[in-house]
């Protein structure tokens, strides 16, 4: 009986400490959510940073929504993407709707020899905002060695997801530093916050974007430059193969309107309140449980996709 009393006391304090820790985490999350999304502050970007905003992958999804939100704030827009037809269509829509000047640059980001063309096209522009949004993922979750056309997939994902961020930043950052103002918004992914098996290359390249952004922000914040890493969970886009938005999978328009509020407030953001909560939950899981859930989810999607392909 005497030995049971100290053990009970120990368990009591373990339980109390756990509850206090969880309460503190929940309180911190609610405080952050209120500060970022609930106070109605203005987005930290606009023409005062520079006349032009450059958006890669700007004809669909998140990129197009960023272009529209920046145009709404009076910024002139440079859209960079692969299809000239899509570029012309989106450019026309933005210029007519928001009464701003637009430019287009048609390049394929899977190629490495495009940056001289981009540099020439951007020459002389007062660029205040760069949105590094272009990206690509797997067709479906798959084990590394079983990825179709593996060697080509490795090259494409690294070139599009990682190299483009470095190269575009290299082109635009010097002008921002010279003027001591500017914002670079790098669209990473929640897959870059924690390793995601069965999306191994995608997850790793997005982790690169996140680390690159954090380092760059620390290097240049004293020079008046904002560098933000944006880490969304699923958004209803073509890339995610989600057609209808839901409460946890918002439309690109809804996501970007929310994410814009975090610029100048958070240098690393999930961009959307529900996604922020999901990230907090993931962070609280022990690694073995996180990987078990992630593998189960990825394998479920993989099996469904392969069954569908066999039927077709």
Q: Which three-class secondary structure state does DSSP give residue 224? A: coil
Rg (the chain; Cα; Å)? 22
- CA dist 306 and 312 (Å) reads 10
Biggest CA-to-CA distance, the chain: 82
Q: What are phi and psi of 79, to 5 degrees?
A: -100, 130
Alpha-carbon span 237 to 195, nearest angstrom: 22
Catalytic-residue membership of 202: yes
Residue 175: which residues within 8 A CB-CB, separation 6 or more?
Answer: 50, 126, 127, 182
CA nearest to 160, candidates 192, 199, 112: 112
Residue 215: count other Cβ atoms within 10 Å of its Cβ: 11
Residue bearing tokens 């999901």? 278
Contact at 8 Å (CB) between 159 and 112? yes
3-state helix, strand, coil in the chain (%, to 5): 55, 10, 30
Residue keyed to tokens 């069954």: 307
Q: How far is it, in rounded angstroms, from Cα 59 to Cα 41?
A: 28
Burial class (CB in 10 A: 0-12, 13-18, 19+), 66: buried
Q: Which of 138, 140, 202, 220 is catalytic?
A: 202
- Would you put residue 213 in left (φ > 0), alpha (ψ -120 to 50) or beta? alpha
Q: Catalogue the active-site residues.
A: 202
């Amino acid at each position: 009986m005497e030995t049971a009393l100290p053990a009970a006391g120990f368990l009591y304090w373990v339980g109390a400490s756990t509850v206090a820790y969880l309460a503190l985490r929940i309180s911190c999350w609610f405080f952050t959510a209120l500060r970022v999304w609930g106070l109605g502050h203005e987005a930290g970007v606009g023409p005062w940073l520079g006349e032009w905003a450059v958006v890669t992958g700007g004809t669909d999804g998140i990129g197009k929504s960023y272009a529209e939100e920046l145009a709404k704030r009076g910024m002139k827009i440079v859209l960079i993407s692969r299809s000239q037809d899509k570029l012309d269509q989106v450019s026309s829509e933005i210029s007519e709707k928001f009464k701003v000047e637009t430019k287009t640059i048609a390049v394929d980001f899977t190629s490495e020899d495009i940056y001289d063309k981009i540099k020439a096209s951007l020459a002389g522009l007062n660029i205040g905002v760069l949105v590094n949004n272009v990206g690509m993922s797997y067709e479906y979750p798959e084990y590394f060695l079983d990825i179709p056309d593996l060697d080509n997939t490795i090259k494409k994902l690294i070139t599009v997801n990682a190299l483009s961020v470095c190269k575009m930043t290299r082109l635009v950052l010097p002008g921002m530093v010279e003027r001591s103002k500017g914002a670079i918004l790098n669209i990473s992914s929640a897959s870059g916050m924690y390793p995601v098996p069965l999306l191994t290359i995608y997850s790793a390249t997005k982790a690169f974007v996140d680390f690159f952004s954090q380092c760059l922000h620390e290097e240049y914040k004293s020079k008046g430059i904002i560098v933000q890493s944006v880490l969304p969970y699923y958004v209803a886009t073509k890339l995610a193969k989600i057609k209808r938005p839901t409460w946890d999978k918002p439309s690109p328009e809804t996501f970007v309107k929310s994410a814009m509020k975090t610029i100048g407030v958070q240098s690393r953001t999930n961009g959307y309140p529900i996604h922020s909560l999901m990230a907090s939950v993931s962070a609280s899981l022990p690694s073995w449980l996180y990987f078990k859930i992630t593998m189960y989810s990825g394998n479920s999607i993989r099996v469904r996709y392969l069954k569908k392909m066999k039927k077709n």
